[in-house]
Amino acid sequence: PEPIVVSGTPNLEKSSNINTPVPNEEPPQIINAISTPVVTSPSPTAGETPIPAKTQLQKQSAKLIHIRTDTDIELPVNLSVIHIGKPNDRVPPDIDVSGFPDSEVVSRSHADIRMEGDSYYIEDIGSSNGTYVNNTSLTRGNRHKLRPGDRISLGKGDLVSFLFQIS
């Protein structure tokens, strides 16, 4: 049998160099293979201060600063209720204040700080010597909304005191 020949079919001879460009054909252009998106925003006008963008992933953090020793205690962000006191078998404290001077005025289960949304609240949970915010005694079970700069005192005499800060 003879091979079938279709008219108009180009000659498909095997080329010795497949990568050789066909004459009069321009080589392909590579257009910036690695492109970086350009984000433009208007420049602030004179007198304006640029406002940093906030993302949903940013969470505010809060801390207590022990006044006498200038020790920072970061409040755990993974807890909605933070127990403050000294070591005990009933409710171990998340913040142990037994290492601070005059901690004998602090109860084992002294106070709780609660985080609700973006707000923090403190509540005396039945301490012997009381919890004070800005020198005002908290009634057991009544919570007080904390504001940056509030002074928290555990026990009488302002011996174990902290400043509340948000960053």
Predicted confidence (pLDDT) per residue in 127-166, tens digit: 999 999 999 999 998 999 999 999 999 998 889 999 999 9
Long-range CB pairs of 4-9, under 8 A, 24+ apart, other chains included: none
Scored b (16 or more CB within 10 A) or e, 49-76 reads eeeeeeeeeeeeebebebbeeeeebebe
87 domain-assigned: yes
128 domain-assigned: yes
8 domain-assigned: no
Predicted confidence (pLDDT) per residue in 71-81, tens digit: 999 999 899 99
Indicate the SS3 state at residue 155: coil
pTM flag (> 0.95):
no
108: its two tokens: 């084992």
**Can you give the residue range of the structural domain that contains 93?**
71-166
What is the count of structural domains for the chain? 1
Predicted confidence (pLDDT) per residue in 87-104, tens digit: 998 889 999 999 999 999
Question: What is the domain-level CATH number for residue 76?
Answer: 2.60.200.20
18 domain-assigned: no
